[in-house]
Amino acid sequence: MSVVAVEGLTKSFAGRTVVDHVSMTVEKGEIVGFLGPNGSGKTTTIRMICGLLTPDSGTGSVLGYDVLTQSREIKREVGYMTQRFSFYEDLTIEENLQFVARLYELKPVAAHVDRTLEQLGLTSRRKQLSGTLSGGWKQRLALAACIMHQPKLLLLDEPTAGVDPKARREFWDEIHLLAANGLTVLVSTHYMDEAERCHRIHYISYGKLLASGTVDEVVAGAGLTTWVTRDGNAAFVARLARLPGVDQVAPFGNTLHVVGQDADRLAASLAAFTAETGVAFEPGTTSLEDVFIQFMARAEDNAGSDAERAQKRGEGR
């Protein structure tokens, strides 16, 4: 049985659909990435999965519990790390963890706190005030609080925002270690390198789930073709972007990446461009970032009013 198996989850606020019939599964021991632009519905979906919000419609189970009727049971078995640091900054690391242990009625409190401090490498800082911690150490404290009650599912909502690359890598090393020991993880992120460290990914845009699978499957399923030139420069970007078959043009260091969905049309346009300018192109590898930019370009932003969306489509004034 899947740890998470939901179908058709829908949630609206003030008449606006934020999550629109989202279905997904997460298997035991998996690290599953949940990706999408700001306002796409990631946090709302996570909150429905962990029992903090009740879906307007849809069905499913989390850890064998019904998402519609057993939210209390789900909350006891889930660790949820929010986007913002939400612990008491005028308490020490140890005092914050003692507070969390009492919330979960863990006994003896001291033993659970000591074990968690040791597991996350926080023992030497146990007496440090939380408000004096760097972003990376605050993140480590938040993770410690989430796993102290030994949940079966860990939900992480953009957990590495605002921390340095070293702290991000150490955090992900810890997540993989936890998954190797049987913990299931669903993590939302904006970072492509983090998405590539997940076993599978789900991409959501403006409330709709657009793609699911391994990174390779999602990239292949997008049907994009990429060409690279080392001869071009930023001056060519605008000209290339206007060519038939070109969907994206992006500088990467001293190269330009040109991406399109219609492989034949793209190749013909670039051949003509080469004949005119002498700029040579060679086949490139489509990246996950290319795919996500394409998804974002295709998705309709449902944040505006119906009239605004109609006007964008040319159906209103």
**pLDDT score recorded for residue 295:** 87
**pLDDT score recorded for residue 296:** 81
**Is residue 249 situated within a structural domain?**
yes
Residues 149 and 40 in one domain: yes
Low-confidence ranges of the chain (pLDDT < 50): 301-317
Q: Pull the structure tokens for residue 234.
A: 């930023």
**pLDDT score recorded for residue 251:** 87
Q: Which domain does 175 fall in, by range?
A: 4-90+143-218
Residues 151 and 281 in one domain: no
**Is residue 48 situated within a structural domain?**
yes
Residues 36 and 184 in one domain: yes
Nearest-angstrom CA–CA distance, 161 and 38: 13
**pLDDT score recorded for residue 136:** 87
The CATH number linked to 244 is 3.30.70.860
Residues 69 and 196 in one domain: yes
Q: How far is CA 195 from CA 26, 54, 156, 158, 293, in A?
A: 15, 27, 13, 11, 14
Total-model pTM: 0.85
Work out how many domains the chain is built from and give that number: 2
Nearest-angstrom CA–CA distance, 172 and 165: 11
Residues 148 and 280 in one domain: no
Residues 72 and 168 in one domain: yes
Tallying the residues shown for the chain, one arrives at: 317
**Is residue 26 situated within a structural domain?**
yes
